[in-house]
Amino acid sequence: MKNKGFSLIELLVVLGIIGVLSSFITPKVMVYMAKGKETKAVAVLESLRTASQLYYLEEGETFIHGGTYGEVTVGQLKKLEKYLSNNVESLIGTKEDSENVTVEIGGSKTGADSEEIKYGGEISFTTKAPKSLETDTKKSDGINIWFSKGKNEINDFNINGDKWTEI
């Protein structure tokens, strides 16, 4: 009578092949997941910019109400709530009004052409224009919003090689 099934050697060979294949796939999956988080962060930035402009058009003043230009706080974000989707709670969470609004990013790099990626991290938002971008149309006016590294421990560039503060 012949036994049906796989021998131990056959099972070990299959597990070895799966292990080798997964070692090639895992780094790519991490990069794609990081790019997904980066895309979400940029989408949130664009939503905040649009909400800030709508607030200014309807209220006739900026959402920071004469405050100093700088990091966007939870209290300021709450003023834009009616112009944003229902997902604002995910940005605010259980933070106090004085805390900065942050969004999770997938990773960052030290240089535009750098191959090394530091995975994870958070980035915040600011109404203060980066010096390199300040022009007549994009200036610190309380309406425009940019990314800010702030106190967050991330590198200067995103995974695509764009400078975070210049997006």
> Is residue 2 in a domain?
no
Mean pLDDT of 145-160: 88
Question: Which range of residues forms the domain containing residue 41?
Answer: 8-166
Identify the three-state secondary structure at position 126. Answer: strand
**What is the DSSP annotation of 70-107?**
SBPBHHHHHHTGGGS-TTHHHHHTT--TTSBPEEE-SE
Q: What are the backbone dihedrals phi and psi of residue 148, each rounded to the nearest 5 degrees, phi first?
A: -140, 130
Q: How many domains, in total, are found in the chain?
A: 1
pLDDT greater than 60 at residue 160: yes
Residue 157 and residue 108 in contact, taking contact as beta carbons nearer than 8 Å: yes
Mean pLDDT of 10-20: 94
Q: What is the pTM of this model?
A: 0.81
> Is residue 3 in a domain?
no
pLDDT in the model for residue 138: 66
pLDDT tens readout for residues 37-87: 999 999 999 999 999 999 999 999 999 876 778 888 888 888 898 888 776
pLDDT greater than 80 at residue 129: yes
> Is residue 33 in a domain?
yes
Q: What are the backbone dihedrals phi and psi of residue 113, each rounded to the nearest 5 degrees, phi first?
A: -100, 5
> Is residue 137 in a domain?
yes
pLDDT in the model for residue 136: 57
pLDDT band at 132 (very low <50, low <70, confident <90, very high): low
Mean pLDDT of 20-41: 90
The Cα–Cα gap between 92 and 135 comes to 31
pLDDT in the model for residue 133: 63
> Is residue 158 in a domain?
yes
Q: Print burial letters for 120-150: b (CB count within 10 Å at least 16), e (below 16).
A: ebbbbbbbbbbeeeeeeeeebebbbbbbbbb
